[in-house]
Structures are given as C-alpha cells and as structure tokens.
C-alpha cells in the first residue's frame, strides 16, 4: 500500500517512521528545518515501540508525492482549509484522505475541497512531538488510530480503510475501523480539548491539572460543557462519556501536555480557534451555554493573536 503523510510533526513523523520501519511504501510531505533534516540524515524516532532511525522520501509539494492509496493529514487543524485543494494530486488515482487533527471539523473542510467520496474520518490518540530537527519523541504506550467512513458510506464495509488499518497495525499502532467515526471524533475531542484548554490556562502538565482539586473541577466542567454540545448536535455519546474520559486522563503520564498547550506556551500559533473557539462557535449555533469555554477562550486569545502577529507581542511571565 502506498501512503502519504502530510505533516511531519509529532503525529505525522511518528507514523511515517513506524510505517517505513515496517516496510510500507510511505512518503512524507513536509517543509522547514525539520523536513530538511529528515531528507538529509533520516528520521530519528524515540518511542516505546523502539528507538531507531529510518530513511523516508520527503517532498514539499504534495503533487510530487503521489498518487497514493491513502493520505494521512497530520498538519495543525488551522492549516487544513488552505492545504486541502493541494491534496488533489495525491488522490488522483482514487485514494482516500484521512484527517488526524484535534477537533471535529477537518473532515468536512477536506471534503469541501476534494469531494465527499475522497474523504473518510479519522483520529489519533498519542503523546508525541518534534524533539529537535529530524527527531520525534513519543511517551506513554498509547498509539490508537480510529478511522471510519462518513455520510452515505458510514457503517458499510470499507476495503480501502481496512487496507490502511492493516498497514498501520503492522507498524505497531492499535487501529480500529469504526462504524460511527463522528462519535469517535467527539469522544477524542472530549479528551483533548478540555485538557488543552484548562492546562493552557493553568500552564501545568496533566499531572498537576488533575491533582489540584480546584483545577480538576474546571477540567470536569469543561468536559461536561463539551458533552452537552455534542449531544445537542445529535452525537450519540455514551451516558458515562465524561467519567470514562476523566479515567483515561487519570492514566496519562503525569508530565503529559496537550499540543495546543505546548504551542501557546512556546508563543507559536495554536489550534485555539479550532478547539476552544470551535466549541464557543458551535455552542452559539446550537443554543448551548458554555460559560467556562467562553472565559477560557477570552483568556487565551491575547497569546494566540500575539503569536499570529495580530497584536504586538508582550512580555511573558
């Protein structure tokens, strides 16, 4: 199977490295110093699945990497809309595009540019990041990928996703082809969005966030707001979704941080508008109150706008 991974960061780089080590025909679409280091010296992976180096073809232009059977989109959520039209050459032969962003809107944005038949749903749960140019690091044993067909294809057998799942399993990932990928996406959103939002405000890793009773209470409130929004939009979340998600967070390594939190802390553009901002926007459309999310969004906006050059940078304390 031919697989292209668009975005070489913590998620994309890790999956590309594991797939290449397993002998899969994988191509990486990336740019910048990280991509140049991979092109020159290979990709270094430090993971519970092994520490190794591997050579991977790297292209800056998606057209140079295709056509392929499957495209895993691993860029930041706010980059998807501009990137989507450029992915057409990758699936010109009939391939499928699978987004792996934090959030619940990436698949729709890709489908608007590429056509519904070319896009499936997907999500990944892993703690990984760029650990210097040409290197990615994963902590914790969790590497879960869920994929599923959308719209009219939902719930039907999917040979194209089963083939992708088989390749990812061979690489070491825990992979499932699910019948209701929208619900799975919101379940993942219920994990990552409240975590990133509360931890970014607290400026603390998950071990501290869940260990301070007052901050843990904020985490639970944020999860409850998000669960209410999902149900108002017709998503079939389980009655115990919040409790199960909190139990999962209790098992995350204490030093774990969310990607949005890391980007905001480093003064980089983040997924604030695609996570916390999306909750606020979708809640207004649905008529669901989310006062904690509104407060967190307002508190984090100055950092986000400074990172994007929309306001003057200010000293960080």
- The CATH number linked to 214 is 1.10.1040.10
Helices then strands (H, E): number in the chain? 12, 10
pLDDT band at 80 (very low <50, low <70, confident <90, very high): very high
The reply to whether 153 and 187 lie within a common domain is no
For 114-158, write each residue's pLDDT tens digit.
Answer: 999 999 999 998 889 999 999 999 988 889 999 999 988 888 889
The reply to whether 169 and 204 lie within a common domain is no
Number of domains forming the structure of the chain: 2
Q: State how far the Cα of 28 lies from the Cα of 286, in Å rounded to an integer.
A: 39
The token pair at 165 is 């799942």
From 286, 127, 263, 306, select the one nearest 206 (Cα to Cα).
127
What CATH number corresponds to the domain at position 127? 3.40.50.720
> Would 313 be classed as within a structural domain?
no
> Would 11 be classed as within a structural domain?
yes
Distance of CA 23 to the CA centre of its chain: 24
Q: How far is CA 80 from CA 86, 161, 233, 317, in A?
A: 10, 21, 23, 32
- Positive/negative CA dihedral, 67, 72, 75, 77: positive
The reply to whether 105 and 152 lie within a common domain is yes
Give the pLDDT confidence score for residue 42 in this predicted structure: 97
Give yes or no for a contact between 154 and 279, defined as CB atoms under 8 angstroms apart: no
On the question of pLDDT at 45 being above 90, the answer is: yes
The reply to whether 158 and 188 lie within a common domain is no
For 181-210, write each residue's pLDDT tens digit.
Answer: 999 999 999 999 999 999 999 999 999 999
> Would 316 be classed as within a structural domain?
no
* Full domain range(s) for residue 198: 183-307
On the question of pLDDT at 248 being above 70, the answer is: yes
Given 179, 206, 227, the domain boundary residue is: 179
Give yes or no for a contact between 147 and 122, defined as CB atoms under 8 angstroms apart: yes
Given 129, 148, 179, the domain boundary residue is: 179
For 281-316, write each residue's pLDDT tens digit.
Answer: 999 999 999 999 999 999 999 999 999 999 998 887
The reply to whether 112 and 149 lie within a common domain is yes
Q: What percent of the chain has pLDDT over 90?
A: 91
Given 156, 179, 202, the domain boundary residue is: 179
Q: State how far the Cα of 30 lies from the Cα of 70, in Å rounded to an integer.
A: 16
pLDDT band at 317 (very low <50, low <70, confident <90, very high): low
Secondary structure of residue 189 in the 3-state scheme: helix
């Amino acid at each position: 199977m031919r697989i292209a991974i668009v975005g070489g960061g913590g998620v994309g780089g890790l999956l590309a490295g594991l797939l290449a080590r397993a002998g899969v025909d994988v191509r990486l679409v990336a740019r910048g110093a990280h991509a140049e280091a991979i092109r020159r010296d290979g990709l270094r992976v430090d993971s519970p699945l092994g520490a190794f180096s591997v050579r991977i073809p790297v292209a800056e232009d998606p057209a140079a990497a295709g056509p392929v059977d499957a495209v895993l989109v691993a860029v930041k959520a706010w980059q998807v809309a501009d990137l989507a039209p450029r992915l057409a050459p990758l699936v010109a032969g009939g391939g499928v595009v699978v987004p792996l962003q934090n959030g619940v809107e990436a698949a729709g944005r890709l489908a608007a540019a590429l056509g519904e038949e070319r896009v499936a749903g997907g999500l990944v749960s892993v703690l990984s990041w760029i650990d210097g140019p040409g290197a990615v690091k994963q902590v914790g044993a969790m590497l879960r990928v869920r994929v599923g067909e959308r719209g009219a294809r939902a719930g039907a057998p999917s040979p194209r996703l089963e083939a992708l799942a088989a390749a990812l399993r061979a690489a070491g990932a825990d992979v499932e082809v699910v019948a209701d990928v929208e619900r799975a996406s919101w379940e993942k959103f219920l994990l990552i969005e409240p975590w990133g939002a509360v931890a970014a405000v607290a400026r603390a890793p998950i071990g501290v966030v869940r260990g301070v009773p007052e901050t843990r209470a904020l985490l639970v409130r944020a999860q409850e707001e998000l669960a209410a929004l999902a149900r108002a939009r017709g998503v079939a979340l389980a009655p115990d979704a919040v409790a199960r998600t909190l139990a999962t967070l209790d098992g995350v390594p204490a030093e774990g941080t969310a990607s949005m939190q890391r980007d905001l802390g480093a003064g980089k553009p983040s997924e604030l508008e695609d996570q916390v901002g999306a909750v606020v926007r979708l809640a207004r459309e649905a008529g669901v109150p989310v006062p904690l999310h509104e407060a967190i969004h307002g508190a984090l906006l100055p950092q986000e706008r400074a990172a994007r050059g929309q306001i003057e940078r200010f000293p960080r304390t």
